[in-house]
Amino acid sequence: MQEKIIGITMGDASGVGPEIIVKALSDAQIYDRCKPVVFGDRKPLLDAIHFTDSSLKLNVIEQPEDALSRFGVIDLIDFGIITAGKWQYKKVCKISGEASFQYILKSIEMALDNRIQAVVTGPINKESINLAGHHFSGHTEIFAHYTGCHEYAMMLISQSLKVIHVTTHVSLRQACDIILRNPNRIESTIRLAKLGMKQLGVDSPRIAVAGLNPHSSENELFGKEETESIIPAITNCFNQGIDVTGPIPPDTVFVKASAGLYDIVVAMYHDQGHIPIKLSGFRIDPETGQYTTMSGVNTSIGLPVIRTSVDHGTAFDIAGEGRASCNSMVEAIEMALLMAKNKDN
């Protein structure tokens, strides 16, 4: 099987993106399994190499095919946008937002042309992206727009839990309205849950659907969303041969999935899914208040290209200090490679 080229976008230079890339690509095993190519800027990466005391070198290339793919060298497609004195760590910055957006666009273009077989995205700052004039709420929406995809969903993966979302970057009020008025969206997310698990190598996944309301409303005592939208969507998908169960009260469904009773949970809104994922993958030192582990992967399901990402933000509070964990970046690269190989099958 041909070795996969994995494109890695640097993310926002004012955050921890350059640092976690440098740390992740200090793992020789990554080069044994794929060809990583970074889409970013030379100066922030050189700075990250310096303050992490890394011995890695940069190899600036024009095309992914030119990569040396040799441990000890980071193959970089240099955009030349961010130069010395043009950005600051820990700050919302228009130029960092513009640069991070351009990395994404180029990676999408090359993924659609199959010049890279997957994209791993470093964290972006949504305020910086919008300050640069690109009005998107996140990576998923950017990828969907520029690939012409209309049926997609965000899936989060930790070692013990997998979650896919019906709604993401909208207010809680909007999420409730979407769920009540669009049972087709719930059906779509259930189908995407099955697709996402197949991309991870699980052909017949057991899918659990979380309720929206406490106790899944207890026969409309606490709301009508379950009876009017969620249950009909589950029934339709079950009748299509999908192994799907629910709605299960949201205060127990993630416990059951973590115990192995289900392969994936369909969450109704952003925090309903993100909170249990981060509880399962993030750890903080109680003495310092700093994260010691940031494990987990974010992936967009339904796109015509494979895209995975770290499951954390730009972490401006520790950017430029050499303290960021690269766990999630390493996991995102490994997940991208797994999905690329399963796509071949």
Domain that holds residue 157: 153-276
Share of the chain above pLDDT 90, in %: 81
Asked whether residue 189 is domain-assigned, the answer is: yes
Residue given tokens 């791993």 in the structure block: 120
HSE-CB for 220 with a 13 A CA cutoff: 6
Does the structure show a pLDDT above 70 at 292? no
Residue 295: predicted pLDDT = 64
When pLDDT is averaged across residues 287-314 and rounded to a whole number, the result is: 84
The pTM is what?
Answer: 0.89
Higher-confidence residue: 293 or 81? 81
Q: In the numeric block, which tokens belong to residue 241?
A: 């041969």
CATH number at residue 226: 3.40.718.10
> Are residues 259 and 137 part of one domain?
no
Asked whether residue 289 is domain-assigned, the answer is: no
> Are residues 191 and 139 part of one domain?
no
Alpha helices of the chain — where are they, by DSSP H? 17-24, 28-33, 42-51, 94-112, 126-131, 139-147, 172-181, 183-199, 225, 231-239, 250-258, 270-281, 327-344
Asked whether residue 200 is domain-assigned, the answer is: yes
Q: What are phi and psi of 328, to 5 degrees?
A: -65, -35
Asked whether residue 127 is domain-assigned, the answer is: yes
Does the structure show a pLDDT above 70 at 293? no
DSSP-derived letter for residue 249 is: P
**pLDDT tens-digit map of 255-269:** 999 999 999 999 999
> Are residues 311 and 202 part of one domain?
no
Does the structure show a pLDDT above 50 at 1? no
The last residue of one of the domains, among 260, 276, 292, is: 276
Residue 153: predicted pLDDT = 93
What's the whole-number average pLDDT of the chain? 93
Q: What are phi and psi of 24, to 5 degrees?
A: -65, -40
**What is the total count of domains within the chain?**
2
Does the structure show a pLDDT above 50 at 272? yes
Residue 335: predicted pLDDT = 93
Residue 159: predicted pLDDT = 85
**pLDDT tens-digit map of 136-163:** 988 989 999 999 999 999 999 988 899 9
> Are residues 132 and 26 part of one domain?
yes
When pLDDT is averaged across residues 283-295 and rounded to a whole number, the result is: 71
DSSP-derived letter for residue 229 is: I
> Are residues 11 and 107 part of one domain?
yes
pLDDT confidence bin for 294, thresholds 50/70/90: low
Measured distance between the N- and C-terminal CA atoms of the chain, rounded to whole angstroms = 11
Residue 2: predicted pLDDT = 59
Sequence letter at residue 336: A
Among candidate residues 302, 244, 269, 251, the one with its CA nearest the CA of residue 177: 269
When pLDDT is averaged across residues 214-241 and rounded to a whole number, the result is: 91
Q: CA angle at residue 246 from 242 to 252, to 5 degrees?
A: 130
Residue given tokens 């303050």 in the structure block: 51
